[in-house]
Chains A and B, each alone.
Chain A
Amino acid sequence: MTDCYIARSSAAARALGGSAVIMSADSSLITLNEVATAIWNAADGVTLLSEIVERAVCGQFEIDPSTARADAEDFINRLAQHGVLIVSNQPIHSAESSARS
């Protein structure tokens, strides 16, 4: 996967005990682990995924960069399939409007 920008959609989400809990549009409840929650919290639409992995994952957890990147790509693909994360090769300034377009 080439580098990309990621942003949270308008899906309902809450932080609980250090984990993000997300309700997708089809009412699936998604619970993220610590690492995935760090990526989710950093998904502001204007920071490249590579920077997020470096700062929020490799900088905070003992995970080697190539594993972290592979895990992150797998994770964002799954969240994108549920419609709760937007992935783009351009910065995403409004997650909700991007989600609708």
Chain B
Amino acid sequence: MAEHDICVEIGGLPILLKNADARFQRKMRERYSGFVSERPADCCLEVILCSKDRSGTSDADIRVERSAQLWRITRGDFEAEWDPHTRRGWVRQTANPYSIDTALRIIHSLELAAQGGFLLHSSSVIRNGRAFLFSGVSGAGKTTISRLAPGDATLLTDEISYVRPDGSAFRAFGTPFAGELAKPGENVSAPIAELFLLAKGPDNHVEDVHPANAARALLRNVLFFADDSRLTTALLNTACDFVSRVPVRRLTFYPDHRVWDLIQ
């Protein structure tokens, strides 16, 4: 590892970020502070800084295409390549934290899809050693419910949950990918007890969801950009395995702390 390189480990996957710019790497070290690891990294991403800044920074602008052995990832503000076999790649971007954040999310989503896991648009917290996930469209209350969590709860993320199989169950990991709370999650993990599909309403109640509808809702909120039939099939199997093993219920809630009485 060179002097300024840092290893960022999320979800048990350490990725070495190689870059010679001390100021940029210092920013990275601050941004991913709870996730900097001393473990040897199997994965390596070279960050090539450039001055060219282009437009288009929303997820809708992302393109993830497979070309021979390589994934090619482009958005207005960066371009990247990732080789899933050597687990090495590069990203070319300006010295901003948002591009590397998105590149890392996509690389993790590709690595996870091949391993039976996924990144999910959801908040997640640990309570009493079990992880609870709260998924929904923008405005459904992902951040609100994590903000209302009791003091004994540990925030894993208010934005992107990291899920991977763990024996016959699934485990959620903390991520530094923050949403409205602008607060990274804790770098811990726990077996997933339940996934709630969120909706705001006049009172608090939970309803069972048919497994097929649960799979549909889950897939709608999975972060996955690649146009690849093999990974898409793997993702369907993963979603079906997940809803077969983890209870999925619809949680309608009025935004105050009493909703947490239903989450045990």
Residues in A lying within 8 Å of B, measured CB to CB = 12, 14, 16-17, 19, 21, 23, 25, 27, 29, 31
Contact = CB atoms under 8 A, between A and B. Distances in A.
Given A29-B216, A31-B216, A16 B211 contact: yes
Interface residues of B, number: 15
Contacts of B215: 14, 16, 21, 29, 31
A27 B237 contact: no
Q: Interface of chain A, helix or strand or loop or mixed?
A: strand
Given A12-B232, A16-B244, A21-B215, 20 more contacts: A12-B233, A12-B236, A12-B237, A14-B236, A14-B237, A16-B212, A19-B210, A19-B211, A19-B212, A21-B212, A21-B216, A21-B236, A21-B240, A23-B232, A23-B233, A27-B232, A29-B215, A29-B216, A31-B212, A31-B215
A19 B209 CA distance: 13
B199 interface: no
A19 to B, nearest CB: 4
B51 interface: no
A35 to B, nearest CB: 14
A17 B216 CA distance: 13
A49 B236 CA distance: 28
Contacts of A16: 211-212, 215, 240, 243-244
Contact of A17 (B211, B219, B233): B211
A23 B212 CA distance: 12
A25 B243 CA distance: 22
Interface of B: 210-213, 215-216, 219, 229, 232-233, 236-237, 240, 243-244
Nearest to A24: B232
A21 B243 CA distance: 12
Centre residue among B212, B232, B240 by max chain A CB count within 10 A: B212
Closest 5 CB pairs of A and B: A17-B211, A12-B233, A16-B211, A19-B212, A14-B240
B219 A29 contact: yes
A30 B178 CA distance: 32
A52 B233 CA distance: 28
A25 B215 CA distance: 17
Contacts of B232: 12, 23, 27
A12 B219 CA distance: 14
Nearest to B210: A17
A75 B232 CA distance: 24
A17 B212 contact: yes
A4 B213 CA distance: 31
Contacts of A21: 212, 215-216, 236, 240
